[in-house]
């Protein structure tokens, strides 16, 4: 009986999240068409869609970094600065050691992952809220990154580009041809690494034991520990993964900007939450949606790019993003509160029924 | 044995010791310029602002909440007051009253949103922060609003015997805050919510009220901080409030707040703010890069956090023995 109830609950949960995904996807398309109708220039593939998709690709990875932390019920406020460190390490390895693009990128991601491990260890050892620890880490890294740039550079940027970086930042799928058929011009080459990462994350959360255990920890740390999940190790690993993803996003920014600067990552915080939360990832942990994160990020960036092409200023942009976040949160929490009330009511009915049964 | 003596807790005593040593070292290496009256007044003026910014986060942390929006809230109310005085020629007292009331109202809005959505205050204030950044930018744009009363701008340096009036005001404010948490029923209940909200609930404490009070109080502190900015800054632009966030968290955390809430170390926050101010002074004395300040403060906060579990364990042991 209880098992059946659980199965039904699980199924409605999946259906609901699918419905949310469809709503989100159609919203992205609708808003895109609305902007195009108002101003046909918005459909301009080279000047609007290409950068839009390139930003969306990068910020999807940022969103996935935050999603990983959210999946265990934690947060990573240092996403931006971990990206900055990865960018910095890559930039240094290009500038001073003549590293190739791949080596530099891997070094940067490894440096970020190391910071993630450190963050995770501090959280596990101190038992302090991940929010405070990652915030302190963020402050530390802000200072550190700025210091390194002022020490090592004169123009506050590492500008040496290894082979292929310029190409990767400018190229589109039109360069990939299968015989006479080529990819579309408006799809940036950077979509490919982003999609590889997306595929990897889907595999982790759908298929791997590791991902399942992260979700379990997000639902209940104590139950997970009781079920013999090494919770402390998983928390550290989750933060390492989150940091590595943030680092990968930082490298993607370096590739599309053509230089590593200290400012990389300073704009990451709000979008990192908007993407996953719009896509149905729970702020409380234990529920993630990788595909949802893609569409959540796309929605944010279609809105942003639509508003900016219509000459809306920075202030209105900020206000609309903040209001959007508030709206999403309210809708999610109202449906959660209503669900809790419905469950409580169902329990009451059950209790009454069993009481009536025992009376007879 | 219930001693009624006023005892200085070990944490606060350590902070005082560190501050005295740091001040003496700084003063010694800068050939005594720090003790000059002008430098001293300037130091205390900036210190007043740091302390109140620390309080704006302390009040929410004590209840297990937090407020990411402190900076943009302060910037927004400053911008409103400056625009009202410069553009609409509103008298100074009325503009300043509007500033305080608005800050309190913005804090209350944060609290109401947290209560309404039953969500983590982090994400709520992240959203309101974004909105306030937009509003502040919308009000002042890229310009600096400065055509208002010069008497107001100069008030910050008014002093009695080398102690700025605003600093005395901040000390009074700190005293009131301390009394609120120690003596009043509302304050004790707020701390109970912060220490253990389920336990507080079982005792009949309305946790949502504690949360609302905390955010409103945070708004009040932001208002006072904004007031201090108005009395010392030469004008209001979009960068006002931009550097409050780190300070607001660093002061209470170094000041010894239990990070899960339930304590409100007013004195500790005050002392920690002093220490943080000295780090800034050191930077300007030795002409270091401004990034050092963030780096050092972030590191100190991280170490404090990492050591907090250790401190908790020794505290537990002491309780068990005693």
- On whether residue A34 sits in a domain, the answer given is yes
Q: Shortest CA distance to A311 belongs to which of A44, A39, A114?
A: A39
Nearest to A147 among B117, B135, B295 (CB): B295
- What is the Cα–Cα distance from B132 to B139, expressed in whole angstroms? 10
Find chain A residues with C-beta within 8 A of B253's C-beta.
Answer: 132, 136
> Which of A79, A315, A338 to substitute to test the interface with B, most B CBs within 10 Å?
A315
Q: Are residues A284 and A322 in the same domain?
A: no
pLDDT at A69 over 90: yes
Q: Are residues A296 and A353 in the same domain?
A: no
- On whether residue A143 sits in a domain, the answer given is yes
Q: To the nearest whole number, what is the mean pLDDT of chain A? A: 86
Contact B253, B259 (CB under 8 A): yes
Q: What is the pLDDT of residue B320?
A: 57
In B160-219, the residues whose Cβ lies within 8 Å of chain A are none
Q: Shortest CA distance to B251 belongs to which of B297, B292, B213?
A: B297
In B219-258, the residues whose Cβ lies within 8 Å of chain A are 246, 249-250, 253
**Helix H or strand E encompassing A254:** helix A231-257
pLDDT at B244 over 90: yes
Q: Are residues A254 and A333 in the same domain?
A: no
Nearest to A318 among B116, B119, B130 (CB): B130
Tokens of A145: 């990154």
Q: Are residues A57 and A93 in the same domain?
A: yes
Indicate the pLDDT class of residue A144, thresholds 50, 70 and 90. very high
Q: What is the pLDDT of residue A87?
A: 96
Torsion sign (Cα): A205, A210, A216, A221: negative
pLDDT at A8 over 60: no
pLDDT tens, A218-228? 999 999 999 99
Find chain B residues with C-beta within 8 A of A318's C-beta.
Answer: 130-131, 133-134, 137
SS3 A267: coil
- What is the Cα–Cα distance from B99 to B240, expressed in whole angstroms? 14
- On whether residue A40 sits in a domain, the answer given is yes
Contacts made by residues A260-263, CB under 8 angstroms, sequence distance 24+? A260/A87, A260/A88, A260/A90, A260/A91, A260/A94, A260/A157, A260/A158, A261/A87, A261/A149, A261/A156, A261/A157, A261/A158, A262/A84, A262/A88, A262/A145, A262/A146, A262/A149, A262/A156, A263/A84
A132/B contact by beta carbon, under 8 A: yes
Residue carrying the six token digits 């390492």: A240
Q: Are residues A257 and A356 in the same domain?
A: no
pLDDT at A9 over 50: no
Residue B75 region, left (φ>0) first, then alpha (ψ -120 to 50), else beta? alpha
- On whether residue A201 sits in a domain, the answer given is yes
Angle, in degrees to the nearest 10, between helices A269-278 and A50-71 = 80
Q: Are residues A354 and A284 in the same domain?
A: no
Q: Are residues A220 and A346 in the same domain?
A: no
- On whether residue A179 sits in a domain, the answer given is no
pLDDT tens, B62-114? 998 889 999 999 999 999 999 999 989 889 999 999 999 999 999 999 999 99
pLDDT at B3 over 50: no
For residue A129, give how far its alpha carbon lies from the nearest alpha carbon of chain B (Å). Answer: 8
Find chain B residues with C-beta within 8 A of A150's C-beta.
Answer: 289, 291
Inter-chain touch B302–A140, beta carbons under 8 Å:
yes
> Which of A84, A88, A322, A333 to substitute to test the interface with B, most B CBs within 10 Å?
A322
Burial letters for B54-63: b for 16+ Cβ neighbours within 10 Å, e otherwise?
bbbbbbbbbb
Q: What is the pLDDT of residue A330?
A: 81
| pTM metric for this prediction | 0.84
What mean pLDDT do residues B207-212 have?
93
Tokens of B85: 């005085």
> Which of B117, B129, B143, B194 to substitute to test the interface with A, most A CBs within 10 Å?
B117
- What is the Cα–Cα distance from B211 to B60, expressed in whole angstroms? 8
Q: Are residues A93 and A37 in the same domain?
A: yes
- What is the Cα–Cα distance from A91 to A85, expressed in whole angstroms? 10
Find chain A residues with C-beta within 8 A of B297's C-beta.
Answer: 139, 143
If one counts the domains in chain A, the total is 2
Q: What is the pLDDT of residue A91?
A: 94
B61/A contact by beta carbon, under 8 A: no
Q: Shortest CA distance to B64 belongs to which of B208, B221, B247, B182?
A: B208
Domain that holds residue A80: 2-174+184-312
């Amino acid at each position: 009986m209880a098992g059946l109830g659980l199965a039904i609950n699980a199924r409605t949960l999946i259906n609901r999240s699918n419905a949310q995904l469809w709503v989100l996807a159609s919203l992205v398309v609708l808003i895109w068409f609305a902007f195009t109708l108002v101003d046909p220039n918005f459909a301009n593939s080279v000047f609007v869609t290409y950068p839009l998709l390139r930003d969306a690709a990068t910020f999807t990875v940022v969103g996935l970094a935050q999603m990983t932390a959210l999946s265990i019920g934690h947060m990573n406020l240092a996403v931006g600065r971990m990206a900055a460190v990865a960018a910095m390490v890559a930039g240094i390895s290009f500038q001073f050691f003549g590293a190739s693009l791949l080596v530099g990128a891997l070094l940067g991601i490894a440096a970020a992952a190391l910071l993630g491990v450190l963050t995770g260890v501090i959280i596990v050892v101190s038992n302090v809220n991940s929010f405070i620890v990652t915030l302190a880490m963020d402050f530390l890294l802000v200072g550190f990154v700025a210091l390194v740039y002022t020490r090592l550079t004169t123009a506050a940027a590492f500008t040496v580009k290894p082979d292929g970086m310029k190409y990767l930042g400018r190229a589109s799928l039109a360069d990939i041809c299968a015989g006479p058929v080529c990819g579309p011009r408006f799809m940036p080459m950077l979509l490919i690494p982003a999609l590889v990462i997306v595929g990897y994350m889907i595999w982790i959360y759908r298929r791997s034991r590791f991902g399942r255990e992260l979700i379990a920890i997000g639902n209940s740390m104590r139950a997970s520990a009781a079920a013999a999940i090494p919770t402390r190790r998983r928390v550290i690993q989750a933060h390492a993964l989150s940091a590595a993803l943030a680092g990968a996003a930082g490298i993607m920014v370096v590739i599309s900007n053509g230089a590593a600067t200290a400012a990389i990552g300073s704009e990451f915080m709000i979008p990192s939450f908007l993407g996953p939360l719009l896509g149905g990832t729970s702020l409380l942990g234990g529920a993630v949606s990788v595909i949802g994160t893609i569409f959540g990020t796309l929605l944010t960036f279609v809105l942003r790019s639509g508003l900016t092409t219509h000459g809306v200023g920075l202030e209105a942009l900020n206000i609309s993003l903040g209001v959007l976040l508030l709206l999403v949160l309210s809708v999610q929490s109202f449906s959660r509160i209503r669900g809790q009330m419905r469950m409580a009511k169902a329990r009451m009915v059950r209790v009454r029924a069993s009481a009536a049964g025992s009376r007879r | 044995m219930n001693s009624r003596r006023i005892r200085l807790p070990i944490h606060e005593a350590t902070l005082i010791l560190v501050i005295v040593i740091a001040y003496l070292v700084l003063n010694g290496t800068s050939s005594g310029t720090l003790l000059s009256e002008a430098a001293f007044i300037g130091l205390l003026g900036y210190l007043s602002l740091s302390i109140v910014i620390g309080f704006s986060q302390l009040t929410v942390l004590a209840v297990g909440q937090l407020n990411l929006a402190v900076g943009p809230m302060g910037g927004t109310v400053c911008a409103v007051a400056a625009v009202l005085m410069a553009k609409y020629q509103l008298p100074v007292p009325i503009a300043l009253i509007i500033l305080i009331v608005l800050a309190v109202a913005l804090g209350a809005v944060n609290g109401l949103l947290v209560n309404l959505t039953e969500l983590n205050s982090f994400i709520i204030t992240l959203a309101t922060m974004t909105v306030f950044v937009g509003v502040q930018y919308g009000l002042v744009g890229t310009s600096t609003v400065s055509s208002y009363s010069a008497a107001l701008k100069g008030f910050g340096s008014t002093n009695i015997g080398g102690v700025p009036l605003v600093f005395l005001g901040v000390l009074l404010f700190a005293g009131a805050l301390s009394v609120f948490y120690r003596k009043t029923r509302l304050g004790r209940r707020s701390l109970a919510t912060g220490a253990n909200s389920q336990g507080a609930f079982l005792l009949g404490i309305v946790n949502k009220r504690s949360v609302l009070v905390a955010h409103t109080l945070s708004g009040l502190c932001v208002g006072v901080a904004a007031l201090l900015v108005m009395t010392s800054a030469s004008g209001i632009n979009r960068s006002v409030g931009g550097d409050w966030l780190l300070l607001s968290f660093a002061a209470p955390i170094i000041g010894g707040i239990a990070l899960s809430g339930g304590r409100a170390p007013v004195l500790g926050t005050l002392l920690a703010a002093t220490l943080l101010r000295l780090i800034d002074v050191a930077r300007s004395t030795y002409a270091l890069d401004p990034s050092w300040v963030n780096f050092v403060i972030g590191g100190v906060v991280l170490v404090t956090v990492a050591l907090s579990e250790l401190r908790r364990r020794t505290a537990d042991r002491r309780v068990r023995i005693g």
